[in-house]
Structures are given as structure tokens and as C-alpha cells.
Amino acid sequence: MIDVSIIIVNYNVKDYLLQCLRSLYEIDTSIRKEIIVVDNNSSDGSVAFLRQQFQEVHWIELNENIGYGKANNLGLAQAQGRYTLFLNPDTIVGRDVLQTMTSFLDADADVGIAGCKVLNPDGSFQVACRRGLPTPWASFCKLFGLQSIFPNSRLFAQYNMTYLPIDATYPVDALIGAFMMGPTAQMQELGGFDPAFFMYGEDIDLCYRVQLAGRRVMYVHTTNIIHYKGESTKRSSMNEVRVFYDAMEIFAKKHFGGSQLFLAFLRLGIVARSIMARLQRKKRELFVWLADMIAVNGVLLFATSVRFQSPFGFPEYAYPIVPIALTIISTLSLISVGEYVEYRPTMRRSAVGLLVTFFMLSSLTYFFKDFGFSRGVLLMTIGFSVVMFALTRGIAALTDRASAARTRRVLLVGINESTAKIIDELDRAERRGTEIVGVVATQPFSDQTFSGSPILGEASYLSRILDVTGAQEVILTDQDMPREKAMELMIACSAFRARFHLAHDYDDIVTARIINDVAGEEPTVSVPPLLRFRNRVAKRIVDVIVSTVVLTLGLPVLILRSKKRHQWWNVFQGSASLVGLVPDGYSRSSGKPGLTGLAQVSRNTNLSVSTIQQLNDYYVQEYTLALDVEIILKQLFRRSRA
């Protein structure tokens, strides 16, 4: 008779799975076990690599990633042991773990599922291995940091139960999915994991259903495993924060009757985490913007003092309207030229942005004459702001140089001869200043290393690899990669401050770095104009304004033309644009379907697919707001002639 059926779901972590399987075969041999590995369509050749080394393992290969819970259920259906252990592949199991847990379950028939102490690789305790239910209050305390502030409080630390001792055995509400062991018959009777959960939340749900069935969930402190947390998610394109909160929403709807309070907390948590992540990645740009706004308002006070002998020399009604207006208009003007959001802040663009600010403010004083206090103050404000902005960018440049003096972390994308040569050149020319963190494959791979560097995964989840490694530079070496694909990768990773270079040798990298340092732009891989922040915002504003006017003032006409009404609604909600692309069956990284476009203004209504593709490509690559205006005028002129 088999004592324990060990079910492991693997996804792209063959190196960790190798360690895990080795540790399982080194444990107490008195425990009779079977090991079932379900591979969720890994792209790293896990099964081919490990099958020959572990022939006793029962391998189940899937041709798609069906999620953690469903994959475990496939293994559970074949389990023959008295107990079933759900085990993560990124774990190392101690020699006494199975013996200790089997003896514990044998001694207490009321236990439905149990977990052991889980440690991080550095030996610290992993708090997620025993948890409370994610009730609205527990979730609120977790999301808003009350648990971190009061870790020993039973009131505020319910989610991770940090108020309970680590070295004691006691009932808990939930365990971590990395290690959960219970009677096989009961697991099968409960149906295993709920397949509605793709990943995350399924462990809490199973533990809760065990309790509803009248059995206890126990945390056992007398044995432990090591867990390299989150290795599978690091090697996928999955947004684990989003997936986690989606799982919690499923749990809330299933067990708490869809509590609106709970769902509101979850959605708030998603928004808060997303905003914080974006701000963290843009902290340099935020620092520059904050310094710029302090400088421009400080210069305004100085200029007012010079002109009116008082920093608040304007009439009383001008405050705080003038500083707020100056901040908003200067921010929008600087964004309109690409500062803060598209490129690294530079003196050239900031000077242009301040010039736009001057003309905007000068124009407004003609409409709001009560605020036209002094053209001299405005000129001094803009003039001295140029000097202050130069100082701000100088400090930012010094910071960049100090950062560059430290080790530069580099990723290479592509497994080819160019990659090997660049690795060799970087190693020789920049041995002290550069760390090659790894290689990213652009095709299926089976080896773990290439030219002495680890292969970290496929290019399809490059953004996740960047997030984990913190690489500052990405070198695309695959000569067969279409430029469109290179741009897609760059766009997908735009949230990170990594520099991208399309390079086939070391000289290309040096050239690209110099141009980037001087101009703040990447010469080899550029973002299409249609995806630049200022163009997207301006285009969206025009779409919303025009579609709103048409859907309100033009509604009587649209009622009679239901197809047109639907199209204008698509423009309003953002799935289409006033001017855009004509569907041609080709997937692009930018551009929406348009009510009109380059193809529609042609007098020839029977354009070939190839011609439409070329017109769409031109629109994406050469886009400007002026081009949109010209297309609209041409369309109107053509209709008037018709």
C-alpha cells in the first residue's frame, strides 16, 4: 500500500523541480510514496530534461496551461496513496517531513488537511504558510498595512495570523498551496481544487471546504520545507497581482455571498497596488517633475518680489489660482513635448515646453484680463525657470552617472552567434561595470545556459523577467526578429526604465548608448508615434469631444441610422477612433479601427489588401495630429464633391 501520493504541478521551473525531486528521493525510505508530476505545457523542456533521471515518476504532459488547481486535480484522480500531498516544484523537502506529517495525520482522524512550517531560502519564516480567512476586515487590514503596523494584534493581524507563535501546532483557517497534505479519499470526495481558480485562492477555498465538511485544518511546526516563493510566476507573463485579486473576488462571491464591501476593498486594492507600482517605476520622473514645479513656483515668487516688492504682490483674488494654473499649464506643456512620460527629461525639450507655457499663459491673459498683471513677471518666470530646470536636469544626470558607475545589469534577447559575441565583448570590455543577468530566448529552448549565462525564459514574458531581475538594459540580438515584434516587446516593457538596443555587435551598443545619453532617445528601437503618450491623450480627447457632440446634438439623425450610432458609440468608449486603421487582417502594436482613414479618402473603393496594409503602416509610422486633420478635411471635401 502506498502511504503518500505526491502531486507536483510544474511550469517552466525544471531547475527547481530537479532539486525538489532529489530531496524527495533522499527522505525516510520507510514511507512508501508515489510521485505524480503534471507539466502545464512548460516551454523550458522540463519533462524531456528530467524524465530520464526520474523514471519512477509518473509524468502527465499537457498541451496547454490549464492552471494550478485543474492540473492538481488531474494528479489527484490518479492518486493511490492513503494521503495526498500537494507540493510546489520550487520547494526542498526535509528528510523527516513525510514521516512527521504521516504520523500526525494517523494520530488524529479529525484532521482534514495539514501543512508544515515553511521557510524562505534564507531560513526566515514564510508567514503565508498559515492564514486566516480573507474576510472583509482581514483583507482591509492586509491591504492598507494595519497588519504590518500591528503584527501582534489579534484584531489587525487576522490575515496572516502573525499574532500566533511560529513554534506551536494549532488549527488555522488556511494553509499555503506549496504544501498541503490530507486523506486522499476526502480530497477526492471534495473534488479537489475548485477549477474556477486559475492560480491563487484555490488553497484557501479547499481549506474552507474542509472545515465546512467538519474536519480541522492544522499547522504543524515540528517539521519544515524550504520554499522559493513565486518561481513559476516569475517565468510567465501573468500579472500575479491581478490574478490574486481576481481569485479573492471569486472566493468572496462563492463563500461571502458576493459581499459588496469585500469586493470594493479588493478593487480598491488593485487600483492602489497598480498606482504604487507605476509611481515606484517612475520615481525618477516624479522627482524631476516635483523639482520643476517647486522651481517654477519659486521663480514666480522671486519675479513678483522684483516687480512688486513682495512675493505675493498680485491682488488677493489671484491666490491660489495663479500658482495652480501655472503648475497645471506648465505640466501639460512639458508633457506635450514628451517630458516625464515618453523620454528621459532633457534640457532641450524642457526649454521647448517652457516656451509653450509662455505662449499658453500669454494667450489666457487676453481672455482673463483680470489676471493680466505683468508681462515682465511672466517673462522672468519663464526665463529663470529655464536656468532652474537646467540645474534640476544636471542633478538628475549626476545621479544617473553615479548609478552608471555601479554595476549595469544587462539582459540579452536571442540565442544566436551575435549574442555569444556580445557576451564575450561585454565580459572583456566591461568586466567590472556590467553584469549579464541572463539570456531570454526567442524560440523554444532545452538548455539551462547559453555562452555561460543562464537562460531565464522566453521573450513572451520579458516584462516579468525585467521586473524580477531589475535589468537596466535590454539588448535585442535576434536578426530574424521583425521590427514590429521588437517594438511590441519594448511597448510591453515600457513600465520599466530599461533601455532597449537593437544590436548585432558591441559597436552598435556603444553607439546607441552615446545617442541615448545625449538626446534621451533610443536610435535603434523607437516607439511608434501613435503610441506616444501625448499623441494618445490628444487623439483620445478629440475622439471623446467629437463623439459626444455627435451622440447628443446629432442623436435625431443617428436614431434613423443604427449602424452609425453603434460606430460613434465605439469611438466614445475607446474601442474605435474618429481617424484610424482599416481592418486588414494584420495584428499591430498600435492603432484602432477608424470611422475614416487613409484608405477611405481614396477615390478607388476597390483597394487591394496589400495597398490597405501599406496605407495602415504609413499611418502608424508617420502619425501626427496634422495627418488626422488632413484626412478629415479630405474626407469632407470628397463628400461635398460627391
Q: Could you say which of 402, 421, 441 is where a domain stops? A: 402
Does residue 463 fall inside a structural domain? Answer: yes
Q: What is the mean pLDDT of residues 264-293?
A: 76
CATH number of the domain encompassing residue 458: 3.40.50.720
Looking at the chain, the whole-number percentage of residues with pLDDT higher than 70 is 82
pLDDT exceeds cutoff 80 at 531: no
Does residue 241 fall inside a structural domain? Answer: no
| pTM for the structure as a whole | 0.60
Q: What is the mean pLDDT of residues 604-632?
A: 81
**pLDDT band for position 145 (50/70/90)?**
confident
* Count of alpha carbons within 13 angstroms of residue 204, beta-carbon side: 23
Contact 548, 572 (CB under 8 A): yes
Does residue 628 fall inside a structural domain? Answer: yes
| Omega prior to 320 cis, within 30 of 0 | yes
Kindly tell me the burial class for residue 41, based on how many C-beta atoms sit within 10 Å of its own C-beta (0-12, 13-18, 19 or more): middle
Q: What is the predicted pLDDT for the residue at 431? A: 64
**pLDDT band for position 188 (50/70/90)?**
very high
Task: Tell me, yes or no, whether 395 and 432 share the same domain.
Answer: no
Instruction: List beta partners, residue 36.
Output: 7, 58
Task: Tell me, yes or no, whether 396 and 416 share the same domain.
Answer: no
Does residue 188 fall inside a structural domain? Answer: yes
Q: What is the predicted pLDDT for the residue at 114? A: 97
Task: Tell me, yes or no, whether 439 and 540 share the same domain.
Answer: no
**pLDDT band for position 26 (50/70/90)?**
confident
Residue 44: its H or E element: none
Q: What is the predicted pLDDT for the residue at 396? A: 78
pLDDT exceeds cutoff 90 at 229: no
Higher-confidence residue: 565 or 178? Answer: 178
Higher-confidence residue: 620 or 602? Answer: 620
Does residue 311 fall inside a structural domain? Answer: yes
Contact 609, 586 (CB under 8 A): no
Task: Provide the domain limits for residue 388.
Answer: 283-402
Q: What is the predicted pLDDT for the residue at 583? A: 81
pLDDT exceeds cutoff 80 at 485: no
Backbone angles phi, psi at 410, to 5 degrees: -120, 135
Task: Tell me, yes or no, whether 366 and 422 share the same domain.
Answer: no
Task: Tell me, yes or no, whether 336 and 396 share the same domain.
Answer: yes
Q: What is the predicted pLDDT for the residue at 241? A: 59
Task: Tell me, yes or no, whether 84 and 198 share the same domain.
Answer: yes
Q: Is the dihedral of CA 407, 413, 417, 418 positive or negative?
A: negative
Higher-confidence residue: 306 or 530? Answer: 306
What is the pLDDT of the chain when averaged over all its residues? 82
Reported as a single tens digit per residue, the pLDDT across 303-351 is 999 999 899 989 989 999 999 999 999 998 888 887 887 666 778 888 8
Q: What is the mean pLDDT of residues 243-260?
A: 68
Range scoring the smallest mean pLDDT among 40-54, 427-441, 517-531: 517-531
pLDDT exceeds cutoff 90 at 135: no
**pLDDT band for position 164 (50/70/90)?**
very high
Q: What is the mean pLDDT of residues 510-523?
A: 56
Q: Could you say which of 462, 496, 527 is where a domain stops? A: 527
The C-alpha torsion from 390 through 520 and 335 to 341, rounded to 10°, is -120
Q: What is the predicted pLDDT for the residue at 521? A: 54
R_g (Cα) of the chain, nearest Å: 30
Range scoring the smallest mean pLDDT among 23-27, 45-49, 588-592: 588-592
Range scoring the smallest mean pLDDT among 64-73, 122-131, 436-445, 522-531: 522-531
Reduced to 3 states (helix: H, G, I; strand: E, B; else coil), residue 79 is coil
**pLDDT band for position 28 (50/70/90)?**
low
Looking at the chain, the whole-number percentage of residues with pLDDT higher than 90 is 31
**pLDDT band for position 75 (50/70/90)?**
very high
Task: Tell me, yes or no, whether 484 and 515 share the same domain.
Answer: yes
Higher-confidence residue: 236 or 319? Answer: 319
Task: Tell me, yes or no, whether 364 and 229 share the same domain.
Answer: no
Cell numbers that stand for 139 in this block: 483583507
Task: Tell me, yes or no, whether 359 and 450 share the same domain.
Answer: no
Does residue 268 fall inside a structural domain? Answer: no
**pLDDT band for position 517 (50/70/90)?**
low
pLDDT exceeds cutoff 80 at 54: yes
Task: Tell me, yes or no, whether 194 and 314 share the same domain.
Answer: no
Task: Tell me, yes or no, whether 566 and 428 share the same domain.
Answer: no
Q: What is the predicted pLDDT for the residue at 118? A: 94
Q: What are the residues whose beta carbons fall under 8 Å from the beta carbon of 330, sequence distance 6 or more?
A: 292, 293, 296, 353, 354, 357, 385
* Strand 130-131 versus strand 174-175 pairing type: antiparallel
Task: Tell me, yes or no, whether 111 and 211 share the same domain.
Answer: yes
- Rounded CA-CA distance 599/527 in Å is 23
Q: What is the mean pLDDT of residues 359-383?
A: 87
Does residue 164 fall inside a structural domain? Answer: no
Most confident of 72-81, 389-398, 506-515: 72-81
Q: Could you say which of 217, 235, 253 is where a domain stops? A: 235
Q: What is the predicted pLDDT for the residue at 512? A: 61
Reported as a single tens digit per residue, the pLDDT across 541-574 is 888 888 888 888 776 665 555 566 678 888 888 8
Contact 91, 226 (CB under 8 A): yes
Work out how many domains the chain is built from and give that number: 4
**pLDDT band for position 354 (50/70/90)?**
very high
Q: What is the predicted pLDDT for the residue at 527? A: 63
Contact 170, 219 (CB under 8 A): yes
DSSP letters for 195-227: TT-SSSSHHHHHHHHHHHTT-EEEEEEEEEEEE
Q: What is the predicted pLDDT for the residue at 640? A: 58
Does residue 397 fall inside a structural domain? Answer: yes
Higher-confidence residue: 566 or 76? Answer: 76
Higher-confidence residue: 175 or 449? Answer: 175
